[in-house]
A and B are shown apart, each in its own frame.
Chain A
């Protein structure tokens, strides 16, 4: 008698571990999704703290000769705000999204090194705790880039500056470890059929960011270690009295600092590249051009550091070199913007909150890019260096760029993470508050800068004529803060009362939507075979085709993950990888 081979169990288990629960399950977790959520929650806490610091500064500057905050505290606020937003919010928030989404988007069951992943998160928390512990004693006050000699033992003798150094060490180590984990995960754990040409663009952004982190972090780690030994062991790296050079600090810091700008923005570019095609109901325009421009930006970003030092004693020819290389970055960035606009062009646009934030990003980031090109011209930079024009420029790039992308990502992926939709009306209200608040706060700062107001001043005289512009900017900051609070309220409300999302509420393109919302611990019952850059679209088409074949046209829409998985198993023979 002919019989077919029946599958036999490969693994026998004698004892089943009890599922951990409660807070210890969060503290000890190595699940990429939980670590991602831990990152995101921690980052948003720091974001709120950094935001309060910004509001305090804006309140102080709202009227001339204000006495709300004294000069010392203002300097500390400037340092805490900048450091918090850069090292404790924007960089790690992408680690949070990457942790949660990358394994799901590439069809993996976890990160390559789950324990290392947990270590990375806890090092980041340790950095934040060490840094904020200085609030109880003497917070650092040498600015977020801690230029020497201001940050050396003579001018910053307190331990606050040391906590800044330890923050850089700890969060740098966390970022480097996380980056290695991301690179290995994407390189080795992609779903069957997902070649490099089918990698989601968010993953391209995160991968490029990770490689840049691996290149840039050692430089800043070395620089802060040199500063630490200068401060405590009388070495002379940055002290000109014994042969050191303060300019060396600037070179080292900005060799890290400018790639850092792209480290903060490249995953945001990836988010925009994911959100636009979903809500335009069109494939992304120029997938390869967008991926190539991502790596092009990464390459150029290590050749432009000295444009932060145009007023330092550097030969004119070298300034010209850095001017040209800085302006060259506008080329790949322009390629991206054009491709994004082309993606929206003639799309069947679905106006949802993630798209609002993505479009806000497009407008504001482009404006920030334009003022960046202006500042890349060194004679213009000589006039505007250290003024509020520069503050306005980098807030257009970072707040409008990174934060808009973060908001877009939050509204886009919140249903996947929690299984519940965020309120659309609250989301759109939050967007308009943030968009208008942002333009009012930072748009007017261009004018302040052109009027000559220097940055990092805790007050100004009434006869400077800067009072009205500063008041407008402060009002804008509170409008912006209201917008952020609306999103926080939306998140809190939706966690309990949000509409159930289902596995694929947006009819999106990438694999994370193939799993349930929220996904199970193992992510997928079946890992589907990827056949294009939009695997979910292919799967829906297969299911629709199968439904038509069965004469059941009314079930052409994707219903539930189990049925999708079942359909995939039967429609892609040999294609799926089963648990």
Chain B
């Protein structure tokens, strides 16, 4: 590592980010406590998932990854984007998955999210999923255009907007995939998986060229001092291949989880139906129909 390149100690103390993370943690804590009080249950897996999501968000925004990604390595910047737009939102939304929100939200918020309220209607609208997917794809593609990408990395305000839009679109996409809202009328599993698959296809438009091209696309990183002994082209290949690997693995894990869940639920549903028909059969037989 050459002099000037950020090391392990280059953590950021951006007060805006710290306040936002602390506020989110406090809000989740309140929601969790309320749910626990109401049901007496502990939602350990959801707590762990949410905490990990928040931890990854902290890692993406405050760790040396941010400083390295700003100027030195495209791969670090791309990893930061994957964490912000995909992994952290996925874990955060999974952390508030059913039934936590139904038990943990205050009555006012539950009313606001109910299918009759405006926000509830909006979130359950049939346009919500395609719009969320479109936004996610647009942010992925838009911020990956070399001129835009380089400009954002060089301007703190534009950089903040970039990160906010990636996180926001990621949360919306994973709202569609996980569908954490309380109440009936959840989207079909295969449709949600379809949206996730489509999002991976959109990500592939960014990661595959970065993986395979034999010339550098981002002049900011191609011309950057080689602080970590990696050439500009190798750095770009790592960025693309790493993004592809993570995006596809996320889909693979989600696919297998949904598949296992689906098999279990279907078997459960079939058994319930069979039991219901058996109990109907046990009832006394009706008199034959009189046709005379």
Chain A residues proximal to chain B, CB less than 8 Å: 1-5, 193, 195-198, 288-289, 291-292, 295-296, 299-300, 303, 315-318, 320-321, 324-325, 328, 531, 573-574
Contacts and interface: CB of A to CB of B under 8 A. Distances in A.
Contact of A317 (B241, B269, B281): B241
B228 interface: no
Nearest to A575: B277
Contacts of A196: 262-263, 266
A315 B288 CA distance: 79
Contact of A315 (B237, B267, B281): B237
B207 to A, nearest CB: 10
B238 to A, nearest CB: 5
Contacts of B128: none
Nearest to B281: A573
A325 B244 CA distance: 11
Contact of B263 (A288, A320, A328): A288
B255 interface: yes
14 contacts: A1-B292, A3-B292, A195-B267, A197-B270, A288-B263, A291-B259, A299-B255, A318-B241, A321-B211, A325-B245, A325-B248, A328-B249, A531-B274, A574-B281
A299 B233 CA distance: 29
B291 interface: yes
Given A193-B274, A295-B256, A574-B281, A2 B264 contact: no
Given A3-B291, A4-B289, A195-B270, A317 B260 contact: no
Nearest to A288: B263
Given A300-B252, A317-B238, A321-B245, A292 B260 contact: yes
B237 A295 contact: no
Nearest to A531: B274
Contacts of B241: 317-318, 320-321
Interface in B211-255: 211-212, 214, 233-234, 237-238, 240-241, 244-245, 248-249, 251-252, 255
Nearest to A324: B245
A557 to B, nearest CB: 26
Given A318-B237, A531-B274, A296 B252 contact: yes
B4 to A, nearest CB: 25
A320 B249 CA distance: 15
**Residue of A2, A292, A315, A531 with most chain B CB atoms under a 10 A cut-off:** A315
Given A295-B259, A318-B211, A197 B264 contact: yes
Nearest to A322: B241
Interface string B189-228: 0000000000000000000000110100000000000000
B125 interface: no
Interface residues on B, range: 35 or more
B270 A2 contact: no
B175 to A, nearest CB: 24
Given A4-B289, A303-B248, A318-B211, 18 more contacts: A2-B287, A3-B291, A3-B292, A5-B289, A193-B274, A196-B263, A197-B263, A288-B264, A291-B263, A292-B256, A296-B255, A296-B256, A299-B251, A315-B212, A315-B233, A315-B234, A316-B234, A324-B245
A87 B261 CA distance: 36
Contacts of B267: 195, 197-198
B290 interface: yes
Contacts of A295: 255-256, 259
A2 B288 contact: yes
Contacts of A325: 245, 248
A193 B292 contact: no
Nearest to B235: A317
A3 B252 contact: no
Contacts of A299: 251-252, 255-256
B157 to A, nearest CB: 32
Q: Which 5 A-B residue pairs are closest in the complex by CB-CB distance?
A: A197-B267, A317-B237, A321-B241, A4-B288, A197-B263
Contact of A197 (B211, B214, B240, B266): B266
Interface in B21-73: none
Nearest to A325: B245
A3 B212 contact: no
Contacts of A328: 249
Contacts of A198: 267, 270
**Residue of A196, A321, A531, A573 with most chain B CB atoms under a 10 A cut-off:** A321
**Residue of B214, B270, B289, B290 with most chain A CB atoms under a 10 A cut-off:** B270
Contacts of A2: 287-288, 290, 292
B206 to A, nearest CB: 15
Contacts of B259: 291-292, 295
Contacts of B237: 315-318
A321 B239 CA distance: 11
A299 B237 CA distance: 23
A101 to B, nearest CB: 21
B195 to A, nearest CB: 17
A83 B269 CA distance: 46
A325 B241 CA distance: 11
Contacts of A1: 292
A375 B252 CA distance: 23
B291 A5 contact: yes
A197 to B, nearest CB: 3
B57 to A, nearest CB: 25
A4 B286 CA distance: 11
B77 to A, nearest CB: 16
